[in-house]
C-alpha cells in the first residue's frame, strides 16, 4: 500500500512573524506544484496565526511544536488543543526529544497529549528515538518499544494510523551526523512493526518519518527507504529553498 509522504519542517525557536512571512512567501511558489507529498511547517506559537492565514488554500499545513494535555487550567506558559484548533492549526509535534530532555516532559504526559490532540482533530507527530549511549548499549529497540507503546497507549485502535511517528535518533539531531540508510530503515521498520502488533494491518497505513540532520544532500537516499514515509526536518527547514528541495526528494522517493 502506498503512503503519502509527509515532510514537516520543525522550526524550533526560530523566526519572528516577519521572518516567517518572508519565508513562507519564498516557500509557497517552490512547492505549489508538488503533488503526492504532504508539507507542513511547525512554527513557534507566535507565528501560527500568521502562517495559517498565509497558507490557506495552499499545499502547506501548519503545525504547532507542542501543546498541553489539559483543555485549560492554571498552567503558566502553556497552550492547549482548543487554542490551536481555534487558529485552524492542522497538527502538532509531540514528545520531541528536546521537550523530553530539556523540559522534563514525561512519557505519561506525551501519551495523554497524543490522545487529546486526536480528539481535538489535530494530527499528531509523535517523536521517538534513542540516545547514543542507548544505541551503543544495544538498547535501541527497547527504547523505541517503550516510547511507541507508551505514546500510543490511549489511542483507540481504529485511530492509530492517524498518528505519524517520527523516528529521531537523538545523536543525529542538530549534529550533522545523520543515521545511515540501514539504521534509519531498520528503526523505521521496527516502529512500523510495533504499530502492527497493536493493531494488525495498521502498520501498512501508519506514516513513519525519519528525523535527524536531514538535508537536501541526504534526503533522497533516506526518503527512498521502504519504511520511511517522510521527514521531520530541523535546521535544513529554516531555509525555504532547502526545505523545498527536501519535499521534492520526498515526492520523488514515494511509491
Ligand atoms: P535537525 O533536527 O534536522 O536539525 O537535526 C531535527 C529535529 O529536531 O526534528
User: Residue 237 C-alpha to ligand 1 middle, in angstroms?
Assistant: 9
Task: Using most ligand atoms within 8 A of CB, pick from 40, 209, 214 the residue to mutate for ligand 1.
Answer: 214
Does residue 116 lie within any of the structural domains? Answer: yes
In a domain, residue 254? The reply is no
The answer to whether 210 and 228 are in contact (CB under 8 A) is yes
Q: Which residues contact 94 (CB under 8 A, 6 or more apart)?
A: 66, 67, 110, 113, 114, 117, 124, 125, 126, 127, 151
Nearest atom within ligand 1 for CA of residue 213: 5
Cell 501543546 locates to: 67
**pLDDT surpassing 60 at residue 193:** yes
Residues 125-145: b if buried by 16+ CB within 10 A, e if exposed: bbbbbbbeebbeeeebeebbb
The pTM for the full model equals 0.97
Residue 68 lies in a domain: yes
The answer as to whether 249 is a domain residue is: no
CA dist 23 and 222 (Å) reads 25
Q: What pLDDT does 148 receive?
A: 97
- In terms of Cα–Cα distance, which of 125, 106, 153, 140 is closest to 210? 125
Specify the CATH number for the domain of residue 52: 3.20.20.70
Model confidence pLDDT, tens digit, residues 11-33? 999 999 999 999 999 999 999 99
- Using CB atoms within 10 A of its CB, is residue 205 exposed (0-12), middle (13-18) or buried (19+)? middle
Provide the CA 5 distance to its chain's centre, in angstroms: 11
| pLDDT at position 253 | 82
66: closest CA among 16, 102, 31? 102
Q: What is the mean pLDDT of residues 77-103?
A: 98
Distance 135 CA to ligand 1 centre (A): 18
- Protein residue whose Cα sits closest to atom 2 of ligand 1: 234
Kind of pairing between the strands at 91-94 and 123-128: parallel
The pLDDT of residue 145: 98
Q: What is the mean pLDDT of residues 119-146?
A: 98
Q: Quickly state the pLDDT bin for 121 (edges 50, 70, 90).
A: very high
Predicted local distance difference test score (pLDDT) of residue 1: 55
Q: State the pLDDT at residue 2.
A: 80
Owning domain of residue 30: 6-242
Percentages of the chain per state (helix, strand, coil), in multiples of 5: 45, 15, 35
- Ligand 1, atom nearest to 176 Cα: 5
Q: pLDDT grade, residue 106 (50/70/90)?
A: very high
Does the residue 252 lie in any domain? no
pLDDT at residue 255 is higher than 60? no
Q: Is 68 a catalytic residue?
A: no
Percent of the chain with pLDDT over 70: 99
Mean pLDDT of all residues belonging to the chain: 96
Is the residue at 205 inside a domain?
yes
Please write the tens of the pLDDT for every residue from 138-169: 999 999 999 999 999 999 998 999 999 999 99
Catalytic residue among 96, 98, 134, 162: 96
Is there a domain that residue 93 lies in? yes
Find out whether 38 and 4 touch, Cβ atoms under 8 Å.
Answer: yes
The string of pLDDT tens digits covering residues 235-250 is: 999 999 999 999 999 9
pLDDT at 58: 97
Q: Report, as an integer, the average pLDDT of 59-84.
A: 98
Choosing from 105, 134, 162, 168, the catalytic residue is 168
**C-alpha of residue 150 to centroid of ligand 1, in Å:** 22
Atom of ligand 1 nearest to the CA of 175: 5
- How confident is the model over 214-236, as a mean pLDDT? 97
Residues framing ligand 1 (Cβ under 6 A): 10, 168, 173-174, 211-214, 232-236
What is the rounded average pLDDT of the residues 68-94?
A: 98
CA of 60 to the centre of ligand 1 (A): 19
Q: Is 154 a catalytic residue?
A: no
CB 208 within 8 A of CB 192: yes
The β-bridge relationship of strands 6-10 and 91-94 is: unpaired
How many independent structural domains does the chain possess?
1
Quote the CA–CA distance of 246 and 236 in Å, as a whole number.
9
Amino acid at each position: 500500500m502506498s503512503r503519502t509522504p509527509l515532510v514537516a519542517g520543525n522550526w524550533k525557536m526560530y523566526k519572528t512573524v516577519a521572518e516567517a512571512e518572508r519565508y513562507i512567501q519564498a516557500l509557497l511558489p517552490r512547492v505549489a506544484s508538488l503533488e503526492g507529498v504532504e508539507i507542513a511547517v511547525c512554527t513557534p506559537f507566535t507565528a501560527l496565526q500568521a502562517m495559517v492565514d498565509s497558507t490557506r488554500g495552499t499545499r502547506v499545513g501548519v503545525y504547532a511544536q507542542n501543546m498541553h494535555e489539559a483543555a485549560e487550567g492554571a498552567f503558566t506558559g502553556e497552550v492547549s488543543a482548543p487554542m490551536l484548533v481555534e487558529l485552524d492549526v492542522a497538527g502538532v509535534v509531540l514528545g520531541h526529544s528536546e521537550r523530553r530532555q530539556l523540559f522534563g516532559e514525561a512519557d505519561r504526559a506525551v501519551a495523554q497529549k497524543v490522545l487529546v490532540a486526536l480528539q481535538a482533530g489535530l494530527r499528531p507527530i509523535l517523536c521517538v528515538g534513542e540516545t547514543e549511549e542507548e544505541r551503543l548499549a544495544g538498547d535501541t529497540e527497547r527504547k523505541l518499544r517503550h516510547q511507541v507503546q507508551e505514546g500510543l497507549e490511549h489511542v483507540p485502535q481504529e485511530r492509530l494510523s492517524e498518528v505519524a511517528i517520527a523516528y529521531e535518533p537523538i545523536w543525529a539531531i542538530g549534529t550533522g551526523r545523520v543515521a545511515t540508510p540501514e539504521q534509519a530503515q531498520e528503526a523505521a521498520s521496527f516502529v512500523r512493526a510495533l504499530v502492527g502488533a497493536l493493531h494488525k494491518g495498521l502498520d501498512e497505513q501508519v506514516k513513519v518519518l525519519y528525523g535527524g540532520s536531514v538535508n537536501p544532500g541526504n534526503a533522497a537516499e533516506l526518503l527512498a527507504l521502504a519504511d520511511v514515509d517522510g521527514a521531520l526536518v530541523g535546521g535544513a527547514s529554516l531555509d525555504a529553498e532547502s526545505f523545498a528541495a527536501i519535499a521534492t526528494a520526498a515526492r520523488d522517493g514515494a511509491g
